[in-house]
Amino acid sequence: MKRYALCFLAGFSAVYAEAPMPETPPAAVPEIAPVGVEKYGKRASDVLAQYAPTVASAHLSTVRVFNKATSKQVAMATVVSASGYLISKASELENADIEVLFAKSSVCPAGLRMGAKIVDTCRAFDLALLKVEASGLNPAVFMDCPPPVPGTFLTAADTEELPLAFGVASVNARSLDDSNKGFLGVMLRSTDDGLKIGMVTEKSAAADAGLKVNDIVLKVNGRIVATVDEFIHTVGSCKPTERVQLQIKRADELKDVDAILRARGDFPQAMQRFEDPRNSMSGALSSHRTGFPAALQHDLFLKPAECGGPLTDLDGHIVGINIAHSGRTESLAIPSASLAILLKTVESGKFFHPEIEELQKSKSNLEEEMKRLDEMEARIKAQVDEIAKKLQALVGE
């Protein structure tokens, strides 16, 4: 266990190598309290207080969500409509009876607590739309503005004046949607013999194709793959349902195998096994932490139950909603521009599902196309009739 008390940080290509995965959870290492970090670290109380003005407005829209039965906080939420709608992190709500606690005030110093119902969910963003029987709430404002650039200072609001945490935008906002990336379902390790399969994911394309542990993968679609990265890139750039040809070596025998890929997004558990286990050694990660169609990566250290609340910039603008603590170094927020779209129809108690509009659009496009084709058919038919008439006239003579 000791070797995990302190880890050097050379990356795992071993991300894909199953060998170095610890048998015992590294978080069990006895912790020696850091001396000095309370005074000089970024979370020193005097530093945190400096960020309070940045959430002066946002904290009024911030809500804590509790499991009614256990009284445990399961998530944060954000007020999105004065008429009682809130959004929160769907996967943390555990389908349980929930209760929400609004920001503290002088009227209600302990904060206001009431039951809430889940009225809609958006699986892609892992968002739940909650309804409380109240009106006149302080909704958060999501502006359709460019997401913050790396290095921008960010603050996570709490239900109190003092923020939860602050940090910086780490990366430009990007899509983590992997529903359109091919997934074969093998864990590979770079060995002297080549890329050796260390594990085959159940019900995956690899399992269907009969790939086995210890097979060596030589070629993908006729091209030699030398490194794990190359393999991931080649397979990941193929689409789900696409057929890939693999050349493998099993006990010194060369074999050609065809596999029909499935989507990476359908195997979240398998993808999580590829993560560096050190990501969770400093605190639990959100169980749903990838696949978001748009996400802003930042370095605020949040607990899973602290996701769902607003994230602001120094001007106090809400730039997103925290949606996952996704690694030791990272958390993710849904950018405000995406939220603005999702919440277009909030007053009707539904998320706006852009695919509805897209489907409606393609339906009307196709209908128009059909109409055009019908008209064309009619015109052509008229022409044919005309020619036939002329022909008849000539032949008839």
Partner 1 sequence: MNPLNFRLLPLLLVATLGFSSAVFAEANLDALREREKKVQDLVTRVMPAIVCITNSQGSGTGSGVVINKEGLILTAGHVTQATGKDLEIIFPDGKRTKATALGANYGCDTGLAKINEPGEWPFAEMGDSNKLALGDWLVAMGHSGGFNADRKPPVRLGRVWKRDPEGGIFSDCTLIGGDSGGPLFDLQGKVVGINSSINASADHNRHIAVDTFLGDWEDLMASKVWGDLRMSGNDFKRPKLGLTFDNEVHEGGAKIIGITENTPTAKLGFKEGDIITKFENTPINNNWSLMRELSDCKIGQTIKIEVKRGEETVGFEVELLSREGKNKQQLAEDHPREKRRRKNADADPAAPEPPSGPRPYFGAALENAADGAEVKEITPDSPAAKAGLKSGDILKAIDDKPTPDAIGAAGLIRPHQPGDKISLTIKRGSEELKIELTLDKK
Smallest gap from residue 228 Cβ to partner 1 (A): 5
Tokens 């990007």, residue? 174
Q: Which residues, at least 6 apart from 271, have a Cβ–Cβ distance to it below 8 Å?
A: 178, 264, 290
Smallest gap from residue 107 Cβ to partner 1 (A): 5
Smallest gap from residue 303 Cβ to partner 1 (A): 11
Cα gap 268→204, rounded to integer Å:
12
Nearer to partner 1, 41 or 210 (CB): 41
Strand partners of residue 250: 253
The 10 Å Cβ neighbour count of residue 326 is 22
Smallest gap from residue 181 Cβ to partner 1 (A): 11
Nearer to partner 1, 133 or 397 (CB): 133
Nearer to partner 1, 300 or 346 (CB): 300
Nearer to partner 1, 134 or 260 (CB): 134
Nearer to partner 1, 90 or 137 (CB): 137
Cα gap 68→36, rounded to integer Å:
38
Smallest gap from residue 278 Cβ to partner 1 (A): 6
Cα gap 166→80, rounded to integer Å:
22
The strand pair at 62-67 and 73-81 is best described as antiparallel
Cα gap 338→342, rounded to integer Å:
6
Nearer to partner 1, 27 or 370 (CB): 27
Smallest gap from residue 194 Cβ to partner 1 (A): 10
Q: Which of 322, 271, 294, 289 is nearest to 154 (CA)?
A: 322
Nearer to partner 1, 50 or 383 (CB): 50
DSSP code for 295? B
Q: Which of 24, 34, 33 is nearest to 3 (CA)?
A: 24
Cα gap 332→326, rounded to integer Å:
7
Enclosing H/E stretch for 21: none
Smallest gap from residue 84 Cβ to partner 1 (A): 9
